[in-house]
Structure 1
């Protein structure tokens, strides 16, 4: 099995190299790892003991961010290294001020893991949610370096619980302690004889609660939204946007803010074709007099990165994209502002989405007709307000996972 795992890693690297000829994201993945060990060696202070946080991408970083921030607040002297697997995390957060260093994680080979951990010499390692890398976990175990999983979540269909999951189960044995989101995860691990598990919840709740209490002030969007009912569609894909386009026609008195999941020239051009009367956020940002530009516009396209979590404060309904693809994006950022949330049918892998629907703070739709029927309900202020209260309360009631983890490592 290990042979197949290593072969898969090498084939993945080969595929990325081939794709990098034309694909910008693949090129960033390759270029970001060039001379990576020389870069690390020159950057790292060998006399320090680092706390190493690893994230797959930007979403997982936001999940672990409240832990980093609380840790730095309580232990100002601690040195933090952050690594990313994906360019979508690294390129956005490579200058994150609370990290002493931010690197790409070298591919998971035995040699890379030995070299990386020898250079970094971390005091502890903290991985978030889904990230399991065989050689890194093994080397941390060999060096007796504590390894923690935070906001972990497990499902029966994962390889850990299948007959062919021997190698995956071996990785679980190298984790010092699991901090998981729910009792189901704890039970599944317990069935494998793994009992070093605490049900702490999801650290994302801590992050989105903080965001909702400390949002960015976006004067341009405030002008656009003032005295209007605003429908915000965040992290959207083309299939989502087609539904929103139909809704915009049906509700001419509403204003719509659309933030695509991928912000590049091609995607923005596609949105402009779908919404020809829209304005781009970058085109109005910083303008001295915003009113003439926005007075007659009903649709605003967010073509900037890093503000969506604050944009939700200006809406009365949120639609979260991805539900017609591999799965929905972050529903909690919107729910934290106390507004009802809508998304497509592929949400079953996301515990918070399932629970929000059960409680009445969120809704799933499968077609344009279903979206229009739902909007007929949500346009009623009282019904909308009640759903929003449920969503906001759900977020507040599930905070505290960061505190549980930090108390644990402080006592060990």
Structure 2
């Protein structure tokens, strides 16, 4: 296949490098961040298994598989790259034995330097991170590339279709794809992946492993709230917080002791959201500052990282954000797995198949706008039999669809055999 699409892409990216560097500066981890973006890293003494996870969501999804690899290959060094600083923090917190680097900017001199120094036995890319020069560098240096938990939404497919020659050339150099659903797999093939390299394995998000003692810790947290009605809005984006706060104000008019746990998706928004909460006249407590939730607290801002499962488990009802705005939704399985009824907005194109399963099982309630939320929350609080049925259905959906972890582990192991 012609290399011209990649040459044109490289030329355009080179011209845009000053803008790209400015954007990436926001994701700085330490004083070595700029060097890592240029592919300058330290070599590992042990043989390397390299995994790339774009950000927090991919790290959380990849964690079960990466933990299995650490256990089964103790003589190899796990290296995890991310695009974001928040992803880096999750790697350090959840996979402390792994070495972390920021992914280099996708220019051939950067990616060649990175792959040559790292010299991995295998590259595992999670979900949908198709970087043409990075994958070409792996191909040149005979490093197998496996896309694990492969996800390609209809929207992403449409965007990639506009640059199909470039994407097709990239997919021709991918060794194998473990797609999470048939629809995702067929989209990879339609974009140029050779069909024989595709495996439909399911999503390892269903193999979510709850940390030991999580439910007990959530119960203890819940007890500090003295039996108040509690709902959580998890992973909110810009444009969603204010409508959700308006909905909470309506709730307070009917149930004055209701508590909202508000969890912005991105740490750089924590302070701005806190200011918004105060400007709207709510009594606020910030978790990052150790502020206690008192009887007068109306909004608890969860401005921390890595606690989403705990907070979902501690709430009575869970609204999963990224769905009021056309973001595409976030992981609906996290509240379902901990037995918290799941509510979402209309924009779910990143989690279509999971939403279908939860919907058909009766584990998901959907709204078209935030204005519908107060009435739905009150209804669910008043109908414990409905919430109990949603709790059971959510857990059953998660349990029934486990198994992708084992399939993807077997695929990866095939490239690690001596």
TM-score (norm 2): 0.85
Deviation of the 1:96 alpha carbon: 5.1
Measure, in 2, the Cα distance between the counterparts of 1:91 and 1:150. 21
Deviation of the 1:17 alpha carbon: 4.1
Question: Relative to structure 1, is the Cα distance of residues 133 and 27 closer, same or farther in structure 2, using a 3 angstrom cutoff?
Answer: closer
Q: Which of these residues, 399, 402, 414, is aligned with residue 399 of structure 1?
A: 402
Deviation of the 1:29 alpha carbon: 7.5
Deviation of the 1:212 alpha carbon: 8.2
Partner of 2:101: 103
Counterparts in 2 of 1:210-359, with a 5 A limit? Answer: 210-211=210-211, 214=214, 217=217, 221-237=221-237, 238=241, 239-263=243-267, 264-274=270-280, 276-284=282-290, 294-325=294-325, 326-351=327-352, 352-359=354-361
Counterparts in 2 of 1:159-178, with a 5 A limit? Answer: 162=161, 164-178=163-177
Question: Relative to structure 1, is the Cα distance of residues 95 and 260 closer, same or farther in structure 2, using a 3 angstrom cutoff?
Answer: closer
Judge conservation of contact 1:282–1:303 (CA < 8 Å) in 2: yes
Partner of 1:196: 197
Judge conservation of contact 2:59–2:90 (CA < 8 Å) in 1: no
The 3-state SS of whatever aligns with 1:210 is coil
Question: Relative to structure 1, is the Cα distance of residues 213 and 219 closer, same or farther in structure 2, using a 3 angstrom cutoff?
Answer: closer
Partner of 1:389: 392
Deviation of the 1:218 alpha carbon: 5.8
Superposed CA RMSD in Å reads 2.9
Q: Which of these residues, 121, 124, 143, is aligned with residue 123 of structure 1?
A: 121
Judge conservation of contact 1:69–1:98 (CA < 8 Å) in 2: no
Measure, in 2, the Cα distance between the counterparts of 1:363 and 1:401. 26
Partner of 2:363: 361
Q: Which of these residues, 63, 71, 84, is aligned with residue 61 of structure 2?
A: 63
Deviation of the 1:159 alpha carbon: 5.1
Counterparts in 2 of 1:27-106, with a 5 A limit? Answer: 28=28, 33-36=33-36, 41=41, 43-45=42-44, 47-94=45-92, 97-106=95-104
Q: Which of these residues, 369, 372, 375, is aligned with residue 370 of structure 1?
A: 372
Deviation of the 1:355 alpha carbon: 2.8
The 3-state SS of whatever aligns with 2:278 is helix
Deviation of the 1:130 alpha carbon: 0.9
Measure, in 2, the Cα distance between the counterparts of 1:374 and 1:195. 47
Q: How many residues align?
A: 399
Judge conservation of contact 2:309–2:338 (CA < 8 Å) in 1: no
Partner of 1:113: 111
Measure, in 2, the Cα distance between the counterparts of 1:278 and 1:374. 24
Measure, in 2, the Cα distance between the counterparts of 1:323 and 1:32. 36
Measure, in 2, the Cα distance between the counterparts of 1:388 and 1:40. 48
Cα displacement string for residues 315-365 of structure 1 (whole angstroms, at most 9, x for unaligned residues): 121011121222222222111112221122211331323432233211221
Judge conservation of contact 1:54–1:83 (CA < 8 Å) in 2: yes
Judge conservation of contact 1:327–1:346 (CA < 8 Å) in 2: yes
Measure, in 2, the Cα distance between the counterparts of 1:310 and 1:385. 19
Deviation of the 1:303 alpha carbon: 2.2
Q: Report whether the alignment pairs 1:138 with 2:141.
A: no
